[in-house]
Amino acid sequence: MADVQVKLSDLIAPSFYRVYKAIKNLEYAHFWLKGGRGSTKSSFISLVIVLGIMQDPKANATILRKVASTLRGSVYDQYLWAIDMLGVGHLWKESVSPLQITYIPTGQKIIFKGADKPRKVKSSKFRVGYSKFLHYEEVDEFNSAQEIRTLNQSLIRGGPNIQVFYSFNPPKSQNNWANTQVEEQGIRSDTMVHSSDYLSVPAEWLGEQFILDAEHLKEMQPKIYEHEYLGIVTGTGAEVFTNLTFREIEDEEIQRFDTTYRGLDFGFAADPLHYMENYYDKTRKRLYIFVEIHQTGMKNAAAVREIKRLNPANRRITADSAEPRTISEFEELGLIIDPAKKGPGSIDHGMKFLQDMNEIVIDRARCPNTAREFEGYELERDKNGNLKGTYPDKDNHSIDTARYSLEDVMSMGRWLY
């Protein structure tokens, strides 16, 4: 291709050479590319799709993420990077409304879609050709394999040799649908499954700080390192929550939340005080958690000051009812607090309510302790290795707080805390 002046081997990591050959030779229709942080899988896919469009005058691409608001700051910029790295920026025109990139010589396009409502994602009509390439970025953010099938049924049509790419960092839990789906897809003759990690990537591409961070985590927390950097599924199958999504919740997104719920779990001795703010989308059964205070040894007056800073309008808070004296003191200091309702089976009911949600979205940067507790919360096993039927009462301060905060949204009063 005369317009591209760089060698592709200078832009893709060696671990992807075999994948690139399979794409060029049309060996497969589906490519599940999983890997750890820094594996360059998304970079590889963006390069391949940009090249594929320039080499096939009828090819277009549809790029999808679960939430539309995450497109521009992530996968859209990734494709602009690929265009720049290939040295063909003068041949492409970018647009943010609508979110698309156009190949100027022919009018072919790369379009970006959010799949917040998968049944409303329709196949796009292109001025030239058809959508030859589909790319699901962070495919594990989607709810299920059925959701992906529904989208593919809408989008895969119109031309020959369609290729679909699914990129993601494997979730921790063995039971996550994306992990089980990869195992099932691996036996299909039209599907290639590929794993990658940063160790096969030239170090100068990643930078010294990336390597230092990875090695530090490897030394301090090897299991977390294996999951985050090597893409290894480290979960035990005992995870309580398999509906977790960790991503940035942007300020603009928060401003659109019409009702915010607040919960509070009081600390005691070595246990931390935990305050939370969240939003529950009843229609989509999706919880967004974006504010936390998590601190041990926090005096009541200091806690109230910090909560007032985060909750300047002094909106109502639902707190652990086991601490009536503390509730009274917080009220005297100016907070509006209701004690959580509790009753027989209240913990089980509340946990099931959280588990039955389609998605619990946690902003790891804003709420690192909430993310850690939800992600690491597992059922314990008895001496025979069988899972116990009760929820462990440890490292669950944010989980209790979430239950308290959502008291008012429980269906018909059946869900009590």
Contacts of 157-162 with C-beta under 8 Å, sequence gap 24+, read 157/123, 157/130, 158/123, 158/130, 158/131, 159/58, 159/129, 159/130, 159/131, 159/132, 161/26, 161/132, 162/29, 162/131, 162/132, 162/133, 162/134
Q: What are phi and psi of 191, to 5 degrees?
A: -130, 135
Candidates 94, 137, 138, 184; catalytic one: 138
CB atoms within 10 A of CB 33: 22
CB distance 22 to 34 below 8 Å: no
CB distance 323 to 266 below 8 Å: yes
Residue identified by tokens 């990875």 is 214
Q: How far apart are CA 416 and CA 37, in angstroms?
A: 40
DSSP string over 189-222: TTEEEEEE-GGGS-HHHH-HHHHHHHHHHHHH-H
Q: How far apart are CA 119 and CA 114, in angstroms?
A: 12
Please list, in sequence order, all residues whose beta carbon lies within 8 angstroms of the beta carbon of residue 218, skipping any fewer than 6 positions away: 225, 229
Amino acid at 180: T
Name which of 200, 239, 277 is nearest 36 in CA terms: 200
Residue identified by tokens 């018909």 is 412
Q: For residue 191, what are the β-bridge partners?
A: 30
Q: How far apart are CA 327 and CA 339, in angstroms?
A: 8
Element (H, E) at 392: none
Residue 138 annotated in active site:
yes
Quote the tokens at residue 102.
Answer: 């156009």
CB distance 247 to 70 below 8 Å: yes
Quote the tokens at residue 36.
Answer: 């750890």
Quote the tokens at residue 245.
Answer: 């999504």
Please list, in sequence order, all residues whose beta carbon lies within 8 angstroms of the beta carbon of residue 105, skipping any fewer than 6 positions away: 91
Quote the tokens at residue 407.
Answer: 């008291």
Enzyme catalytic residues = 138
